[in-house]
Amino acid sequence: MDPLIIQLGILGAICVCLAGIFENHPWRIAIVIFQYVVSGIIKETTSSSLTGTVLQIITTIVILKIPMFANWKYLKREGCVMVTGCDSGMGQATVVYLAETNGKENNSYDQIFAACFNAKASLAQFEKLLTSEQLKYVTVLPLDVTNDQSVEQAKSTVEQWMKNKASKAGLTGLVQFHGVAFNGPAAYMPMQMYERQIQVNFLGYVRVVQIFLPIMKQAKSGRMIFTGTGGGPCTPCPALLTAYMSSKFATEAYCHSLRSEFFMTNTNIEACMINPGFVKPTMLMEEGKKLTEKMWKDCEDKLKSSIAKDEYGPLFDHFLKYSALQPGTHVVEVSKAAEHALLAKVPRTSYKVGIDSKLAPIVGMMPTGVRELIARHGIYGVLSPAGTVKGYRV
């Protein structure tokens, strides 16, 4: 085989590996395609192996545009960061992670604000999870993201703390993890369940951004981090998650549009998405069962019959069983993604956390019939760990 082709093949593999570090899948695919196009041109027009190698290296550097390497460099921690949804799960874990890794000389947040729906109970939890030294960096405050007055009060608390402590850098990070999930059949689920999820999972994010944005603009730079679901906008929407997925897709669109507005107006704030797959500590199965029973009862009260449960009950039971059998990603991986988004010199626009989150866009870009066949026989059918469900046609 021509030595030039061998060298180009090796460099192509290196280029693909480097592209894997870059920020999103479409960009990686573009790199690979461009890589092979240029390789073909070099092979046809260059007789020297050395020349071909040099051109290939230059091409790779041009494609990746150097800033990729900035993702490996972390900025110093400075100012304050606020995290919402800290009663449990990803929000609580992120506050703990940031507090445990905080406190290093000249590389420390002034304060980490943990916003919780039930501040008293959450404070008791943090007192168990953190040492007294670590707790010095954490302020727990109450927050109801569906209430303007509550968010304004949280903002006032943050502003007052920064004023009293003379925090020079200001509020440099806003990480939003709050969310609720009520699953059920799209055609029958009560409207209040739709409204609640939209209020918390979408409008709650918007409300927090609009109220906290003025004080974030006072800092020299800032990061806003939002929580989506699975693989992002390319994720196939599973049956029975209609309201939840609708609210998360709205948040995804809001984040990307907001980031574009910041760029167009030269606002020194970055907006990023974290797209976690199954995260075990947030998958509260017992709580999920209670919500499911309430959902069926609400459907029955609304419809004056059990038609919703009769039609969708076996499918729903199968989905819950499937969810319970998933290994899930450890919640600390989400915390690490949040830290990278806060501190990386060039943060990614989207962080896919967990193998299921990384694979979801691939399935989502398949033809509709193919991906629905996968869902039917995979998540909801004989190929899933849950096996078959009596009464559900596979």
Contacts of 52 (CB under 8 A, 6+ apart): 4, 7, 8, 42, 43, 46
pLDDT class of 239 with cuts at 50, 70, 90:
confident
User: pLDDT tens digits for 305-319?
Assistant: 999 988 888 888 887
User: pLDDT tens digits for 173-223?
Assistant: 999 999 988 888 988 988 998 999 999 999 999 999 999 999 999 988 899
Average pLDDT over residues 159-168: 87
Lowest mean pLDDT of 65-79, 153-167, 218-232, 305-319, name the range: 65-79
Measured torsion, CA atoms of residues 219, 339, 144, 245, in degrees rounded to the nearest 10: 120
The mean pLDDT value of the chain amounts to 80
Structure tokens at 7: 């060298």
Burial 244-256 (b: 16+ CB within 10 A, else e): bbbbbbbbbebbb
Q: Are 114 and 138 in contact (CB under 8 A)?
A: yes
The fold of the 80-377 domain, in CATH, is Rossmann fold (3.40.50)
pLDDT class of 281 with cuts at 50, 70, 90:
low
On the question of pLDDT at 44 being above 80, the answer is no
Q: Measured at the alpha carbon of residue 141, what is the angle toward residues 135 and 144, in degrees to the nearest 5? A: 145
Read off the DSSP letter of residue 75: P
pTM: 0.79
Q: Start-end ranges of CATH 3.40.50.720 in the chain?
A: 80-377
Beta strands at 80-84 and 111-116: parallel, antiparallel or unpaired: parallel
The Cα 109–Cα 103 span in angstroms is: 7
